[in-house]
Amino acid sequence: MKIIVTGAAGFIGFHLCKNLLKNKKITVIGIDSINSYYSRSLKKKRINILKKKNFFFKKIDLINKKKLDLIIRKFNPETIYHLAGQPSVLYSFKNPYSYKRNNITATEVLCKISKKYKIKNFIFGSSSSIYGDQKRFPIKENFKKKPKNYYAITKYKCEKIVEKNFKVSSVNFKIFRFFTVYGPYGRPDMFIHKLLNALKKNKQINIHNKGKNLRDFTYVDDVVKILINFSIINNKVKILNIARSKPVKNIDLIYKIKKIYRQKKENFNFIKTVRGEMLKTHGCNKKLIKNFKKFKFTELDEGLAKTIKIFKKYGI
């Protein structure tokens, strides 16, 4: 089986590739532009971990139509996982063009080429941020979308691009909305790894909204298991939340991490709520569980322990 993963040097893309490669019958081409949004060194470390006989890496920009067309035509994959994109809420206020280019335009290019070569399966990684602030919880897939920032707007537009291209085609597509994914080798700009780096360097920790924000933290291995086994999902089901569905206050998360990390010193700096940030994420996973039956999500304490163990060992 041949599979392409875009964003292979990214956090979720790396973990997906690592797990796919456990099956020696699978050949993976990882695509990534290795941009400078965050540490290129970390991205290169992830790729070096993946370099096995059945993994090939292509450093290209997805909006390069000629190169992308050539790769897909020659490799002829059965499945494409589209996980590449410009992440982060805060950065979208500073550089909206990057989101239009790397999310919207890149998805348009990839979808058109995938449709041209009649790819069997197209899996898109979306975000819980498209829901914005809701009044009812847990958030179901059919709730009204209220994106609060340009990052969320572009992810929702990408969903529409995927649907438009593949709704009337032979391509089997799925859209997964991720809820606050965390785990080993995480992005340094995300809350948990920012906190771990602050603890390591004994620096002050900035906490928005007095730590009252709630997040539905979902362990990366759980996300990957669902992505790999997408074929067991009913063909009529096209959009699914991936959420543990047990939100935790950020301040409680901090104390859990400090306990596991064995750091007792209080070094907090409470700051106001950040523009465009959601106050609460809490996804409904009933639709997901209906398709995966006995699936069990990793408990937060267990996932944090695994994350911190890798961080202490490798510093990433």
Instruction: List, by residue number, the catalytic residues.
Output: 151
Task: State in Å, rounded, how far the first CA of the chain is from the last one.
Answer: 31
Per-residue tokens: 305? 């322990």
The token duo for 308 is 């911190």
- Cis (ω within 30 of 0) for the bond into 138? yes
Length of the chain (residues): 316
Residue 191 parent element (H or E): helix 191-201
The H-or-E segment that residue 28 falls in is strand 27-32
Q: Is 51 exposed, middle or buried (0-12, 13-18, 19+ CB in 10 A)?
A: exposed
Q: Which of 9, 38, 25 is nearest to 78 (CA)?
A: 25
**191 is written with which tokens?**
């809350």
Q: Which helix (H) or strand (E) holds 4?
A: strand 2-6
Residue 6's nearest CA partner among 52, 48, 61, 65 is 61
Concatenating the DSSP letter of every residue in 75-101 gives: H--SEEEE------STHHHH-HHHHII
CB 3 within 8 A of CB 79: yes
| Local structure of 55: helix, strand or coil | strand
Contact 278, 152 (CB under 8 A): no
> Which amino acid belongs to residue 39?
S
Pick from 55, 68, 49, 148: nearest CA to 111: 68
3-state helix, strand, coil in the chain (%, to 5): 45, 20, 40
